[in-house]
Chains A and B, each alone.
Chain A
Amino acid sequence: MSNDFYTLNVNGEDHQVADSWAGESLLWVLRERLGFPGAKNACEEGECGSCSVRIGEEVVCSCLVLAGSAIEQEITTIEGLSAEGELSDVQQAFIDAGAVQCGFCTPGLLVTIDHLLEENESPDDLTVREAISGNLCRCTGYGRILEAVQIAAASRRGGKRE
């Protein structure tokens, strides 16, 4: 165990991590030390995307980030996606479209899709599929998820929300 500490910036706030093992992933530290259990641990080998977080401008698998190396980065988790108490448009779209079943893949998907819609406000079907190809879902078959993305995209473009 290390007696040193390091600081991670998560969702706009600094958090100190002390008494940790050097090999802890960012996913583990977020969930078990810093009280951000939103990112999930379905595989811990970069094959499912359930641990997706944003570091700076990029969406990455937090299970593949060594926590101690993520200092001085802006880390955004699912918990940081929506303003105080409000749901983001993508979160609301997921509910409205029936895109949530067990919900385990949901946080990772929301982080990925939030980023996608920032980059591309009218993604076509294939673009969305490729963008979320790193997020496994076992419950939904992706149909309602794709629908949710289109609902959110339309809403962002200023279209009428159904």
Chain B
Amino acid sequence: MSDVKTDTPTSSFRIGDSAPRPDGIPKVKGTFAFSSDLWHEKMLWGGTLRSPHPAARIRKLDVTEALLIDGVHTVLTHEDVPGEAVYGLEHADQPVMAAEVVRYEGEPVAIVAADHPEIVRRALAAIKVEYEEMVPLTDPETAESVDHIHPDGNVFRKINLRHGDQEIQGDVQVEGIYEVGMQDQAFLGPESGLAVPGEDGGVDLYVSTQWLHADRRQVASCLGMREEDVRITLAGVGGAFGAREDLSLHVHLCMLAMRTNRPVKMVYSREESFHGHVHRHPAKMWYRHHADREGNLVRVEARVLLDGGAYASSSGAVIANAACFAAGPYRIPNANIEGIVVRTNNPPCGAMRGFGAVQTCMGHEAQMDKLATALNIDPVEIRLKNALRTGDQLLTGQTITGTAPVAEVIRTCAEHIPSYQESSDLMSLPGGAGRTADPEHISRGEAIAVGFKNLMFSEGFDDFSSAVCHLEGGVATITCACAEVGQGFVTLAQQITREILGVEEVVLAPAATETVGSAGSTSASRQTWMSGGAVQKACEEVRLQLLQRLAEEHKVSVDDLVLVEGQALSLNGDFSINIDEATENPLEARVEYRHAPTFPLDENGQGDAHVSFAFAAHRAVVDVDPELGLVKVVELVTSQDVGRLLNPLQAIGQLEGGAAQGVGLAVMEEVLVAEGNIRNASFTDYLIPTALDMPPVEIAAIIEQPEPGAPFGAKGIGEPPSISSTAAVVAAIREATNLELPRVPVRLTDIVSIEEMS
């Protein structure tokens, strides 16, 4: 909530440097204000009553007892929602609070504000709800044919991609059915925020989110207020990875604050967090790949079924992604891909890093390996043979006009010789401190996988960002609503500004809806391009304004002037002035930045729907204990196509961090849902990799081929690391065990067969 100011001398930290984060010092000191750290005098605590049933009618909802508890200030239900009863990212189908029916376990039913969290807990326990349980729809394969569980129907979206010859057969065909379990984003910072009622009848909301303005639109709609009266400021975000793209507690918090006329704070527990945000879509995918005898891909057929859970969220966009990238970064002359995402009473699913491409990458890479085996061609060779290049056509018929160094990515990854030393300590065997195995029990496997997806939003969406640049007394202030969720946009914003304006001190104003327009979502690997582009554009305008002012005032030519190291200089050396002095009278520019337009997909899934694409490859080495099914990922090597490296240290962070999430999905992460109920809503049983589970991630190559049209030529880098990493790890486990392993996460019992167990 305070301005993020840089304390370290950083005049040399421009584009291409490993500039340190401006929020690094408060974060290491523990003074950085995350949304769960907010505090306000007179604040109350909020809490949410959630449905224990995945499908039920609400027969009775009685809050009277809860209201009588000392210290309870208000209890609200759906009847108290002032505006629209439903909200949603793509499609408004999700109730603020359930009215007559609940459609997933954890759906909000009532909210409470009280003096202390303990009183909140007692109040929630005192609310009486009579549920009439219904049989939940939990099998996505039946969703299309059974009764609707929502007035809007059980199918969020169906997409058919028909490309080229629909009938052509390949000499060799391989088939498979693959499954991806439900992954959770598992960000560490719980859903949290503070709402403060304004004296003007508006409300100020400080919250962790990925998209302030989309939040504002929905919150205002549900509160029945004008958007400008809902003022959202970004509070410190403890990770996002897609889970904060949808609303969670936003409307609830504002309702409580406005009803009690007090500031209200809410923090979800970890268990509640699992119920409180969308997860990655579980997928079931059927593939048939056709190739000729030389290994050239002829046709790909696929059917992809995603379980979207109870409400729409961004399911429509996810299935489109899954379908468009279903066959991977290869030349596919002919394809029919059917994608469908359905509604069930399972936990709602939406955006998670990789957005549909993670699931299909697991499928298409398993298929490429099957083809390699069937044709007796090396798995790296078959990928190189079919690798996409600039000028090739995608499944959507779109021609790649940007860079596509797929072959380089594959080759560098495959050829890299890792430099780290392996340990012989028992702790580095599968099982670790559990001492379950000795070296003779271990089987090792190695495999490579490649993946890709689009950058930015697609299918004609008006994707833009906004920024303000203010230059006064030599200090540049950048205002941009780009949600910093840990990825380091704040660092880039400073680097870009320093590069263009030649100033040292760059202040980042709080990201807030009141002071600047939308920056779009921090997702789709888009912010470097979009908000970086907006900051660049705003700084360029200010630069021009400054040069024009100097040109006029000092009779020099604009073309002769440069801004460097705090000075405006003429190239011939005749003129110089300190920027501090030159900008005593401030300059400002307020801009919107858009990427090149995209177009919808037609009824055959054809169209120039995307702007740009990024590619990555991973090579995994795993040790497996086949008798017990335990796996240790020993090594991960990666190459990635980044366009241009703007901050090497931060890029490494993305490549390593994304790979960790891929490893997690491959071997340990799954939200276990039984009859619509989550069985492992805690970090005790939803396992993410610890430092003892993660291997070192070695970067074989960061391929810099500047992307035309991208600010600085830089591509987004956040998602590719999480796409092919899962596929590489499971492929390596297949190598080690000779098992088909069509499902991730690979469980102990997937490796240890039933026969072995008897």
Direct chain A–B contact by Cβ atoms under 8 Å: yes
Q: Is the CB of B653 within 8 A of A102?
A: no
B residues less than 8 Å from A102 (CB atoms) = 187-189, 237-239, 485-486
Quick check: which of B312-320, B535-543, B604-612, B686-694 contacts chain A, the rest being far away? B686-694
Q: Which A120-162 residues sit within 8 Å CB-CB of chain B?
A: 125-126, 128-130, 132-146
Q: Which B14-44 residues sit within 8 Å CB-CB of chain A?
A: 18, 20-21, 23-25, 27-34, 36-37, 39
Q: A42-B683, A79-B29, A98-B652 are in contact. List 15 more A-B contacts (CB 8 A).
A: A32-B39, A40-B189, A47-B684, A101-B239, A103-B27, A103-B486, A125-B423, A136-B690, A138-B688, A139-B239, A139-B486, A142-B660, A142-B694, A144-B652, A144-B656
Q: Which 8 A-B pairs have the closest CB atoms?
A: A38-B30, A102-B486, A103-B27, A141-B660, A104-B238, A78-B30, A47-B683, A141-B656
A residues less than 8 Å from B652 (CB atoms) = 98, 143-144
Type the 1/0 row for B670-708, where 1 means its CB is closer than 8 Å to any CB of A. 000000000000111000111110101100000000000
Identify whether the interface residues of A are mostly helix, strand, loop, or mixed: loop
Cross-chain pair count, CB within 8 angstroms: 178
A residues less than 8 Å from B690 (CB atoms) = 133-134, 136
Distance in Å: Cβ of B683 to nearest Cβ of chain A = 4
Known: A40-B36, A44-B269, A98-B653. A136 touches B28 (CB 8 A): no
Listed A/B pairs (21) with beta-carbon separation below 8 Å: A1-B116, A38-B30, A40-B238, A42-B188, A42-B189, A42-B270, A44-B269, A44-B270, A48-B683, A78-B29, A102-B187, A102-B189, A103-B27, A104-B34, A126-B423, A130-B692, A135-B691, A137-B188, A139-B657, A141-B658, A141-B697
B residues less than 8 Å from A42 (CB atoms) = 188-190, 238, 270, 683
Q: Is the CB of A94 within 8 A of B24?
A: yes
**How many interface residues does B have (CB within 8 Å)?**
63
B residues neighboring A (CB under 8 Å):
18, 20-21, 23-25, 27-34, 36-37, 39, 116, 118, 185-190, 236-239, 241, 267, 269-270, 423, 425, 427-428, 433, 485-488, 649-650, 652-653, 656-661, 682-684, 688-692, 694, 696-697
A residues less than 8 Å from B661 (CB atoms) = 138
B residues less than 8 Å from A39 (CB atoms) = 30
Q: Is the CB of A43 within 8 A of B682?
A: yes
- A41 in the interface, Cβ–Cβ < 8 Å? yes
Q: Which A60-80 residues sit within 8 Å CB-CB of chain B?
A: 77-79
**Alpha-carbon distance between A137 and B682 when the two chains are bound, in angstroms:** 15
**Alpha-carbon distance between A139 and B21 when the two chains are bound, in angstroms:** 15
**Alpha-carbon distance between A79 and B27 when the two chains are bound, in angstroms:** 11
Known: A21-B118, A135-B691. A144 touches B653 (CB 8 A): yes
| Cβ contact of B25, chosen from A43, A95, A107, A138, cutoff 8 A | A95
Smallest Cβ-Cβ distance to A94: which chain B residue:
B28
Identify whether the interface residues of B are mostly helix, strand, loop, or mixed: loop
Known: A101-B487, A103-B486, A135-B691. A38 touches B189 (CB 8 A): no
Distance in Å: Cβ of A79 to nearest Cβ of chain B = 5
**Alpha-carbon distance between A100 and B303 when the two chains are bound, in angstroms:** 40
B residues less than 8 Å from A50 (CB atoms) = 188
- A31 in the interface, Cβ–Cβ < 8 Å? yes
B residues less than 8 Å from A134 (CB atoms) = 690
Q: Is the CB of B653 within 8 A of A139?
A: yes
B residues less than 8 Å from A14 (CB atoms) = none
**Alpha-carbon distance between A36 and B31 when the two chains are bound, in angstroms:** 9
Q: Is the CB of B427 within 8 A of A130?
A: yes
**Alpha-carbon distance between A146 and B696 when the two chains are bound, in angstroms:** 10
Q: Is the CB of B691 within 8 A of A37?
A: no
Q: Is the CB of A126 within 8 A of B24?
A: no
**Alpha-carbon distance between A42 and B660 when the two chains are bound, in angstroms:** 19
Q: Is the CB of A95 within 8 A of B28?
A: yes
**Alpha-carbon distance between A129 and B649 when the two chains are bound, in angstroms:** 21
**Alpha-carbon distance between A101 and B239 when the two chains are bound, in angstroms:** 8
Chain B CB within 10 A, most for which of A32, A42, A136:
A42
